[in-house]
Amino acid sequence: MSSNPMEFWFEEMHTNNVKMAIRVNKHLYSDTSEFQRIDVFESPEFGKFLTSNGNVIFSEQEEFTYDEMIVHVPMAVHPDVKRVLVIGGGDGGVARELSHYKEIEVIDIAEPDKMFVDVCRKYFPDNAIGLEDVRVRLYYEDGLRFLRKCKDKYDLIINDATDPTGHEAGLFTKEFYGNCFKALHDDGIMVYQHGSPFFDEDEENCRAMHRKAVKSFPVMKVYQAHIPTCPSGYWLFGFASKKYHPLRDFDPKKWEERGIKTWYYTTHLHSGAFMLPKYVEDMLKEEENAN
Amino acid sequence: MDLERQKQAPLYKAIESFRRQRVVPFDVPGHKRGRGNKELVDFLGIKCVEIDVNSMKALDNLCHPVSVIKEAEELAADAFGAKHAFMMVGGTTSAVQSMVLTACKRGEKIIMPRNVHKSAINALILCGAIPVYIDPKVDTKLGIPLGMEIADVKKAIAENPDAKAIMINNPSYYGICSDLKTIVDLAHQNNMLALVDEAHGTHLYFGEGLPMNAMTAGADMAAISMHKSGGSLTQSSILLVGEGIDEGYVSNIVNLTQTTSASYLLLGSLDISRRNLALKGKESFGKVCDMAAYAREEINEIDGFYAFGSELINGSSVYDFDITKLVINTRGIGLTGIEVYDLLREEYDIQMEFGDLSNVLAYVSIGDRIQEIERLAGALNDIARLYSKPTGDFFCAEYVTPIVKATPQEAFYAPKEKLPIESTIGRICGESVMCYPPGIPILAPGEIITSDILDYIKTAKEKGCSMQGPASEDITELLVLK
């Protein structure tokens, strides 16, 4: 007999022809905000996980991957980050990783959905602890709106939004990249979730993002990570920068000296993450040449 | 409006009940609920094609409604405060034409603003009536036509006491309203009909704090684009009839040109939308007004853009302003509205309603969300940062009083010849010459070409206005009546 008394599964369509299923112990929460339907489940394999409109946003067992990758990669490149803006990121995971860095003076978070923050505070305290850092200022505001008023203000912008088709669609557009460019200092960096390149449906979004970012920033590189619950388990990040190159300006020694404890990121992995499969390289090149 | 009654949607209900009946079709359309055209079903979906049916007893007939369409039209009339409402399936063009054809016959006069919609001029070609134009004032700074002033309306009436009707745009594409009530009263005092082109004004009947609508002003007929702000399917429309008009005669006029196979997709969408407007319109348009106001505020924060609003109201040529119309003047960043329109489409994946030489128009409606407003404001902000140019001189053409020598119908059918433009003085023009900005015709078919007009065209061209209409693109030649 199975350890589970009943067959209770969360399913997510990754394409029309591919489906992921996670066995669920309990459905802990469900409500609909002005922006999205939010659900929280408890599962044997991934621990608690949160979904938005039926898509997994993060799980306890794997959130360290993208929170570390989206924070430590730019932080190990930029020599002196004082002001950071996080777009989305209301769960607090990104802020938690940022809080390891003493030189940071301000962590602004623009998250439109208060319900999302409240749910994370209640069910994911290990992430939400990041929001408690004294340097964090949380704004319940649309990311694009927040950015419009910012000029030459940040060293680093982290776009934590994941879904280019949902309520965060505005954060995957040319106007978003342009407004980020304007909000950054002359040596600023923006990193963002670049989606998964594998399935045809996701590939087009991935291409469009790269096309827009390449036009907006002089340095634009893509790096990768393995994230089990995302479509095909393979995920990309974008590194868009006005000055610093993610490998040439990378300072592993300085980062090692900080002694930050990680589960995914290492300085070896930093370099490796920018070495992409041929099909991804080709896809990105095609979009660069299309300009 | 009887709110309890407005909860019904008799035509929609009849279509839904027909869907469940599984009737065997030995009538048109030949696709027979889609079975004969699989690609069409894949394209539109079974729910759509299975109600694409012909008039039948259970679903009434738009040409002579006796049951569910009649009830739906009565509900629409009640919702809009009209004596009668006609559901239309040929767009608001057919509603505007039906108004003109109802009001005047060959050789009779109709007073209208010079920037009247093409559909009204085309109606004059059909019926042979004579247009008497009124100067819509122009805002030369913004490059847009405004509304009719009362003094000009009085003058036109005094000079043409035999005119049969006055046509009024309410509001214009740009949100500008004339003093509708006074114009309607003037028309009635002089035994003329008041016809209102309300293609951009469905919401005026349901929202709060918006300009006066035609039926409230006592107009005789009004053409309502339900598919614009009303939420119904493209091409569906409503023609409203007031107290002084015999709807039987209007029905004859409508049936002269309207299809005998009206689409139930369009009719059903009209019935559902009318119910939504009646029950939820106040709330929906309250949101639209809030969104437009927010967008205006945010866009006006960006240097170089000017989203104009109620501050234009001046008591005459801008008697009132429809705040749901989000028009953004782009001259301050040194770009034309057309350039901004193209940039938004090509670089930012944002489709605007319209771009002219100095403005872009964003259509804000019940389908919008604040996220999309943020995108528009974000994109405009980025355009100002990346594409701004030094602002050059801006010239906006002013009004030219036309001299009508032949009716649009005579001009349309007359034999014509092409002549070099300088040798056309004294001839009757055979085509339209529109000048942008402000988008008002300089010449229309049937009007005499004077040396003043040729000088004017030359100057406007030199100053950078765009001339449209003539077959010869650079206007070196003009088509004239033989």
Q: Where are the domains of chain B?
A: 3-279, 286-387, 408-481
When scoring A111, A139, A148, A159 by the number of chain B Cβ atoms within 10 A, the one with the most, hence best to mutate, is: A148
Domain for residue A83, yes or no?
yes
Q: Tens-digit pLDDT profile for chain B (482 aa)? A: 999 999 999 999 999 999 999 899 999 999 999 999 999 999 999 999 999 999 999 999 999 999 999 999 999 999 999 999 999 999 999 999 999 999 999 999 999 999 888 889 889 999 999 999 999 889 988 989 999 999 999 999 999 999 999 999 999 999 999 999 999 999 999 999 999 999 999 999 999 999 999 999 999 999 999 999 999 999 999 999 999 899 999 999 999 999 999 999 999 999 999 999 999 999 999 999 999 999 999 999 999 999 999 999 999 999 999 999 999 999 999 998 989 999 999 999 999 998 888 899 999 999 999 889 999 999 999 999 999 999 877 777 778 889 999 999 999 999 999 999 999 999 999 998 888 877 788 898 999 999 989 988 888 888 777 888 888 878 889 999 99
Give the residue from chain B lying closest to A112, CA to CA. Answer: B371
Q: Residue B130, Cβ neighbours under 10 Å: how many? A: 22
Residues from B contacting A (CB-CB < 8 Å) are 298, 301-302, 347-349, 370-371, 374-375, 377-379, 381-382, 385-386
Q: Which of residues B471 and A86 earns the better pLDDT score?
A: A86
Residues of B in contact with A147 (CB under 8 A): 378
- The pair of structure tokens assigned to B456 is 């004017």
Supply the pLDDT for residue A291: 57
Bigger pLDDT: A163 or B47? B47
Q: Do A51 and A85 reside in the same domain of the chain?
A: no
Q: List CB contacts (< 8 A) between B387 and chain A.
A: none
CA distance B153 to B138: 16
Mean pLDDT of A34-48: 95
Report yes or no: A211 at the B interface, CB cutoff 8 Å. no
Q: What's the one-letter identity of residue A176?
A: F
Domain end: A21, A40, A59, which one?
Answer: A59
Measured over all CA atoms, what is the biggest interatomic distance in chain B, rounded to whole angstroms?
A: 69
Determine the distance in angstroms separating the CA of B382 from the nearest CA of chain A, rounded to an integer.
6
Q: Locate tokens 């029905």: which residue? A: B251
Find how far residue B419's CA is from the centre of its chain: 34
In angstroms, the separation between the Cα of residue B328 and the nearest Cα of chain A is 18
A148/B386 touch (CB, cutoff 8 Å), yes or no: no
Which residues in chain A have Cβ-Cβ distances shorter than 8 Å to B295?
Answer: none
CA distances from B38 to B19, B26, B32, B48, B340 (A): 19, 19, 11, 13, 41
CA distance B410 to B417: 15
Q: Pick from A167, A170, A174: which is nearest to B382 by CB?
A: A174
A143 and A211 in a single domain? The answer is: yes
From chain A, the residues in CB contact with B385 under 8 A are 178, 182
pLDDT at A224 over 90: yes
Rg from Cα positions in chain B:
23
Task: Tell me what pLDDT residue A4 has.
Answer: 57
Q: Show the DSSP H helices in chain A as ranges.
A: 63-75, 93-98, 114-123, 125-128, 143-148, 174-183, 200-216, 252-258, 267-273, 278-289
A4 lies in some domain:
no
Res B467: pLDDT: 83
CA distance B237 to chain A (A): 32
**A39 and A96 fall within a common domain:** no
Same structural domain, A49 and A165: no
- Contact state of B381 with A179 under an 8 Å Cβ cutoff: yes
Of the partner residues A142, A148, A169, the one whose CB lies closest to the CB of residue B381: A148
Q: Which two tokens stand for residue B422?
A: 């300088």
Taking the C-alpha atoms of residue A87 and residue A144, their distance in angstroms, rounded to an integer, is: 9
A30 plus A109 within the same structural domain: no
Q: Is A41 exposed, middle or buried (0-12, 13-18, 19+ CB in 10 A)?
A: buried
* One domain for residues A240 and A165: yes
A183 to chain B: nearest residue by CA?
Answer: B382
Asked if ipTM goes beyond 0.85, one says no
Domain of A204? 63-289
Q: Which residues of A touch B386 (CB under 8 A)?
A: 178
Give the mean pLDDT of chain A: 93
Tokens linked to B356: 């002219």
Q: Is the pLDDT of residue A3 over 70?
A: no
| Chain B, nearest residue to A174 by Cα | B348
Q: Which of A92, A98, A90 is nearest to A125 (CA)?
A: A92
State the angle between helix axes of B264-300 and B68-80 in degrees (0 to 180), rounded to the nearest 10: 20
Q: Which residue has the tokens 């505070």?
A: A121
Q: Judge whether A2 lies within some domain.
A: no
What topology is assigned to B286-387 in CATH?
Aspartate Aminotransferase, domain 1 (3.90.1150)
- 3-class DSSP assignment, residue A14: coil
**Same domain membership, residue A122 and residue A23:** no
Are A31 and A133 found together in one domain?
no
User: Closest Cα of chain A to B335: distance in Å?
Assistant: 18
Cα–Cα distance measured from residue B178 to residue B317, given in angstroms and rounded to the nearest whole number: 6
Number of helices (H) and strands (E) in chain A: give both, helices first.
10, 13
Burial class (CB in 10 A: 0-12, 13-18, 19+), A42: middle
Q: Are residues A29 and A85 in the same domain?
A: no
Closest chain A residue to the Cα of B302, Cα to Cα? A148
Q: Which of A147, A170, A175 sits opposite B371 (nearest CB)?
A: A170
What's the half-sphere exposure (Cβ side, CA atoms, 13 Å) at B213? 25
Q: Is A122 on the interface with B (CB under 8 A)?
A: no
Determine, for residues B374 and A144 on separate chains, whether the beta-carbon distance falls below 8 Å: yes
Q: Which of A67, A142, A155, A160 is catalytic?
A: A160
CATH topology assigned to domain B408-481? Ornithine Decarboxylase; Chain A, domain 4 (3.90.100)
The answer to whether A170 contacts B375, with C-beta atoms less than 8 Å apart, is yes
What 8-state DSSP symbol labels residue B404?
B
Same domain, A39 and A73: no
Side-chain half-sphere exposure of B302, counting CA atoms within 13 A: 31
Domain count for chain A, please give it: 2
Flag whether residue A290 sits within 8 Å of chain B, measured between CB atoms. Answer: no
The helix (H) or strand (E) run that includes residue A26 is strand A26-32
Check whether residue A88 and residue A148 sit in a common domain: yes
Answer yes or no: A160 catalytic: yes
Cα gap B340→A22, rounded to integer Å: 48
Per-residue tokens: B379: 């994109």
Mean pLDDT of A2-10: 78
What is the C-alpha to C-alpha distance for residues B376 and B433, in angstroms, rounded to an integer?
Answer: 33
Residue type, position B426, single letter: G
CA–CA dist B131, B114 (Å, integer): 9
pLDDT tier at A164, thresholds 50, 70, 90: low
Under 8 Å CB pairs connecting chains A and B tally to 53
C-alpha span between A178 and B240 (Å, rounded): 48
Say whether both A282 and A213 belong to one domain: yes
Tens of pLDDT, residue by residue over A100-111, are: 999 999 999 999
Neighboring chain A residues of B378 at a CB cutoff of 8 Å:
144-145, 147-148, 170, 173, 175-176, 178-179
Task: Write out the H or E segment, with its range, that includes residue B167.
Answer: strand B165-169
User: Residue A233 in contact with residue A226, Cβ under 8 Å?
Assistant: yes
Considering only CB atoms, which chain A residues are within 8 Å of B374? 142, 144-145, 170
Per DSSP bridges, beta strands B306-307 and B325-329 are antiparallel
pLDDT of residue A185: 97
* Distance of alpha carbon A259 from the chain centroid: 23
CATH fold, domain B3-279, is Aspartate Aminotransferase; domain 2 (3.40.640)
